[in-house]
Structure 1
Amino acid sequence: MPIKFGTDGWRDIIAEDFTYANVREVARAHAQALRAGGGQSVVVGYDTRFQGAGFARVVAEVMAGEGLRVLLAREYLPTPALSFAVVHHAAAGGVMITASHNPPQYSGYKIKGAYGGSATPAIVAEIERALQHPEVYRGPAGSIGPLDIRGAYYAQLDRQLDLETLRGYRGTVIHDAMGGAGCGWLTGYARHAGLNLDLRELHGRPDPLFHGVNPEPIPQSLGELMGLLANETGTALGVVTDGDADRVGAVTAGGRFFNSHQIFAVLLRHLHGRGVRGRVVKTVSGSRVIELLAERLGLSLLETPVGFKYITDAFLEGQADEALAVLMAGEESGGLASRGHIPERDGLLNSLLMVEAMAASGKSLDELFAAIEAEVDFRHHYDRGDLHLGAGFDKNALLREAQGYREIAGHVVEGVKTIDGVKLLLSGGASAMFRASGTEPVVRVYVEAQTPEAVRAILDEATRRVLALDVGQPV
């Protein structure tokens, strides 16, 4: 069976490998792994993708047949709400039918641990073993009941936010839900919490085709939102959630894209200012600004491979040992988590925290980040290239070659990190990272430098070197 687990579960193309038959096999193996660990219940949810409700129903039926008590979502819901439901209902685990930010033709099977976060490598390994060695269950059947988590999840957001400060914000916020699982959830929370902000929805109708874009909060998918904010000034803000609403992006007044590194820095500074303390955790693809800011604030920093499961491990260590508690963690792709919540990305919470940071300071996100740049003496500019390559492309050969580079676009290589892929530390504080995707036939090139011209030159040169190794073409 052609099933391969990536950084956050299993994703594949609908009707090609992501079929009802394969979903049944994965659900059976997952149920077997849960039972082997003493688990008795599981929570199942889905996003707005094609046949999401049908796939979720199949998962629920198989797991109930394997003796588990299943709570099945009544309607689409965000992944962070599903993850919170696992903890709220003291379930042994969770399943979210979603392919997150992947193109519409994909679906996926996200696995959540009992702690309400991404499955650790150990959990995934147990499921993989059960796939290879299935057992016949002969015990009594379980049950399927309805899951309605919205009210409890909103109450959890209440506990994470400074509602008095948030209610003082009077600006305009546009939520681009991209047709995904965040549709209606942010406006619903605003009504619940009595917020007075001018909150508008863009692409707030659920759509399995995501209104014609890939549901990822990156500039290529946000042209309409940028246009709406082009003539706005001050603290007007556009917040973006991806297909299952765990990742976040932002567009500021004037139609400027505000990337995930900038969001991470602003929220870290804001939460620290609220008195929250702990470690800072970032994936290796994250910005140097985070490293410099953590040092400036006197906070320890942990760098991990790409994949939120590694960040989850750090949160779990912090729950077991207060000295290792995590203040905030994040990844380049817009997944951010903070202390006191579930160890999970939450695009809705992070959207509201951005508004709270502006309300508390009276400044825009651009102004808040500019102050951080001045504080750490580093000017952040960033871009990423996603290179779709031929089927015969040797990704490992690329990574071996990249480790031997001595310069790129005139920037001397001063250090090499191989935590995940290859990250070259370049002169002038710049960096170039090469990494093969675990879920798509893609090599990603991440570049940071202190001027946009340097970013462009490094990315162009890095892209040419990748493409010279094969016949692939950039997208």
Structure 2
Amino acid sequence: MTEYKLWVNDPLIDEDTKRELASLHDEKELEDRFYRDLEFGTGGLRGVIGAGTNRMNRYTVAKATQGLAQFIKQQGERPSAVIAYDSRNQSPEFALEAALVLAGNGVKAYVFESLRPTPELSFAVRHLGAGGGIVITASHNPPEYNGYKVYGRDGGQLVPHDAERVLAEIHTVDTLARIQRMERGEAEAAGLLVWIGAEVDEAFVQAVAGVSLHPDVVRSVSDDFHVLYTPLHGAGNLSVRNVLGTIGFTHVHVVPEQELPDANFSTVKSPNPEEREAFTLALHMAKEVNADIIIGTDPDCDRMGAVVKDDRGQFVVLNGNQSGAIMAYYVLDSLKRQEKLPERGVLIKTIVTSEMGAVIAESYGVSVLNTLTGFKYIGEKMTEFEQSGQYQFLFGYEESYGYLAGNYCRDKDAVLASMLICEAAAYYKSQGKTLYDILQELYRQFGFFQEQLESRTLKGKDGIEKIAAIMDDWRQAPPAAVAGVSVVRVQDYLRGIDGLPAENVLKYTLSDDSWFCLRPSGTEPKIKTYFAVRGSTGEESAERLERLRSAVMSRIDQLP
């Protein structure tokens, strides 16, 4: 209530916000809005839009940007940052607010004049030589959310040690009066607010297209190859189509109801290409356009999902591990056939991603590294290897539909992934095969890997406490066996093991090489549990996966 009254009485808070606060009478609602500041984690901010310290609004954005500006100014002379945003509610307004606070601090803000994919922001930071970047997005969260992701000078999302430095600067902003802000006209006249667009767009498209491995094959089959694409009302539409056209695809169809930006994502329950429901309209349209492959990107276009035909001609949704394994195989096999596979090549994946891609990489003599969950850690390793020369980055991915090849940016890129998966489909079609055929070949060669993710959404203060209780329960009483299979290894990443930063993640490996992992989400009010098995047949894997899942979730759900 103290924080609430401070906002109501602060002359720097606008009248619309004060009216919103005056209309609130539910005690739990007030508590949730003001019991803490919206948490600035390694991914920045993410929360429900609205008035309050624990909400996304112009004031929480301005406060975070004031801290970021102070951090950027410590990095060197002529400080600057790039800002991009997606199709969400208030994204343009939050982007402009961030730009004006940067300008008020003497930090030059390069701002895209309309929505752009998140990976283009990562590229633009590097392309323009900026000291950092901001993306206003909540990825695939529901419409009531927005967020604020922060990038370093290498184009990667901030990793913990830099995020902690930014957070320390944010903590110095103890009142709104400490925020330095310039009006738009003044910022433009001073050259501290610069609008960017076409030149960066073209450079980005060319950089992505430069990763293409078989544009000649794409052109040879393009007359008889049809891509069906849905941007799910987000930022990917133009970039994905431009890149596909650049490498030779001539039949790219877009789901018309989902083509244009829509902050409410009115045609889907969730704008998430990880979920089959997001492809409902595309699946209805697939026969009409004779689609060889269906692809979808999330609102900020950093995650890509693919749907392919199985051996009966029915469309099946690939999960992130399957798509990643196919693309890893396509990249490595193509490089080997072209005699371009480097001696010190490396594939990087996260600790909750399937081992299938790792096994494939090792069969080509490519090294494999694991990082914590979050593409920021993959990007960090890419920059490290670019500077040291220890490895040459070839492919990076995470099970949550994030993929990257090439060195042009430092974040997962659904524009690149769209190009790569469609190119792979065209390449194998030229050999009379589908991506489903390739996946079955990989299973027969490397083992039948199967994975599953179970999430429990627990909102509000009570939810945060419940998630903490679940993690404490498993940490303090680790099981000796699960579903009759003994546990042979427990990895508590909160201890900073395997040379990785400390993070609240628990991973349990069983004697049959299956594993499961518990992890609170860093961006949503969820606890996530990952499961993975490897069997000699698909049926065996499915049975073992269900036994493992059932046993673990039973314990989680029984906790009061």
So what's the TM-score if we normalise by structure 1?
A: 0.92
Match of 1:318 in 2: 385
Residue by residue over 1:323-381, the C-alpha shift from the partner in whole angstroms, topping out at 9 and shown as x without a partner, is 233221111211112233312100011111011122223332212222222222x1022
Q: Could you tell me which amino acid in structure 1 is paired with residue 295 of structure 2?
A: V
Q: Is the Cα–Cα contact under 8 Å of residues 285 and 446 in structure 1 kept in the other structure?
A: yes
Q: Aligned partners of 2:92 and 2:290: how far apart in 1?
A: 41
CA deviations over 1:166-208 (Å, ceiling 9, x no partner): 3234322111211111133322333445422343336212111
Which structure has the highest helix share of the two?
Answer: 2
Secondary structure at 2:456 match in 1? strand
Structure 1 residues 113, 392: CA separation in 2 closer, same or farther (over 3 Å shift)? closer
Q: Aligned match of 1:107 in 135, 139, 146? A: 146
**1:399 aligns to what?**
471
The answer to whether the aligner puts 1:445 opposite 2:529 as a matched pair is yes
Secondary structure class of the residue paired with 1:157:
helix
Sort the Cα spacing of 1:50 and 1:138 in 2 relative to 1 into closer, same or farther, 3 A. closer
SS of residue paired to 1:345: coil
Paired with 1:392 and 1:75, the residues of 2 have a C-alpha distance of: 36
- Match for 1:294 among 348, 361, 370? 361
CA distance in 1 between counterparts of 2:479 and 2:409 reads 41
Aligned to 1:252: 308
Classify the secondary structure of the residue corresponding to 1:279: strand
Q: Is the 8 A contact 2:519 2:529 kept in 1?
A: yes
SS in structure 2 opposite 1:167?
A: helix
Match of 1:183 among 233, 237, 253: 237
User: Which residue matches 1:159?
Assistant: 210
Among all aligned residue pairs of Structure 1 and Structure 2, give the percentage whose two residues are the same amino acid: 28
Match 1:11 to one of 16, 24, 46: 46
- Could you tell me which residue of structure 2 aligns to residue 342 of structure 1? 409
Q: SS where residue 81 of structure 1 aligns?
A: helix
SS in 2 for 1:323: coil
In structure 2, do the counterparts of structure 1 residues 416 and 298 end up closer, same or farther at CA, with 3 Å as the change threshold?
farther
Separation in 2 of the partners of 1:383 and 1:231?
Answer: 29
Q: Secondary structure at the match of 1:380?
A: strand
Conserved? CA contact 1:10–1:110, under 8 Å: yes
Output the amino acid matched with 1:168: S
Mapped to 1, the partners of 2:154 and 2:220 lie a distance apart of 33
1:374 partner amino acid = R
Shift of 1:234: 10
Residue correspondences, number: 469
| In 2: Cα distance, 1:43 partner to 1:178 partner | 25
Q: Matched residues in 1 for 2:441 and 2:434: separation?
A: 11
Q: Distance in 2 between matches of 1:168 and 1:429?
A: 43
Question: Does the 8 A contact of 2:101 with 2:181 survive in 1?
Answer: no
* 1:218-247 superposed Cα distances (whole Å, 9 cap, x missing partner): 225435057337769998111121121011
* Residue in structure 2 matched with residue 473 of structure 1 by the alignment: none
CA distance 1:78–1:447, change in 2 (3 Å): same
Task: Tell which deviates more after alignment, 366-375 or 51-60.
Answer: 366-375
Amino acid in the other structure paired with 1:214: S
Secondary structure of the equivalent of 1:213?
A: coil
1:199 aligns with 2:253: yes
SS in 2 for 1:311: helix
The one-letter amino acid paired with 2:439 is: F
**Structure 2 counterpart SS, 1:467:** helix
Given the alignment, which residue of 416, 425, 444 partners 1:358?
425
Aligned residues: CA RMSD = 2.5
Deviates more, 1:455-464 or 1:411-420: 411-420
Distance 2:126 2:59 in 1: 29
Structure 1: tracts of 5 or more residues without a match: 471-475
Question: C-alpha separation between the residues in 1 aligned to 2:209 and 2:216?
Answer: 11
* C-alpha contact 1:229 1:237 (8 A) present in aligned 2: no
Match of 1:405, as an amino acid? Answer: P
Residues 1:398 and 1:137: Cα distance change in structure 2 (over 3 Å): closer
The residue type paired with residue 240 of structure 2 is: L
Instruction: Assess if the C-alpha contact under 8 Å between 1:42 and 1:68 holds in 2.
Output: yes
Give the whole-Å Cα distance in 2 for the aligned partners of 1:260 and 1:136: 41
Which of 261, 269, 274 does residue 213 from structure 1 map onto?
269
Q: What aligned pairs does 1:398-437 form with structure 2 within 5 A after superposition?
A: 398-403=470-475, 404-419=478-493, 421-437=505-521
CA distance in 1, matches of 2:181, 2:284: 58
Q: Are the aligned partners of 1:215 and 1:221 in contact in 2 as well (CA < 8 Å)?
A: no
1:415 partner letter? R
CA contact (8 A) 1:267 1:357 kept: yes
Q: Displacement of 1:55 after TM fit?
A: 0.7
Q: Which runs of 5+ in 2 are unaligned?
A: 1-35, 494-502, 536-540
CA contact (8 A) 2:273 2:279 kept: no
- Contact 2:279–2:296 at 8 Å: present in 1 too? no
Confirm or deny: 8 A CA contact 1:166 1:359 kept in the other structure.
Answer: yes
Distance 1:464 1:232, change over 3 A: farther
Counterpart of 1:357 in structure 2: which amino acid?
A: A
Q: Which has the larger radius of gyration?
A: 2
- C-alpha displacement at 1:312, in angstroms? 1.6
Q: Secondary structure at the match of 2:559?
A: coil
Is the CA contact (8 Å cut-off) linking 2:326 and 2:439 kept in structure 1?
yes
137 and 107 in structure 1: CA distance in 2 versus 1, 3 angstrom threshold? closer
**Using the alignment, how far apart are the partners of 1:424 and 1:330 within structure 2?**
21
Give, in angstroms, the shift of residue 46 of structure 1.
Answer: 0.5
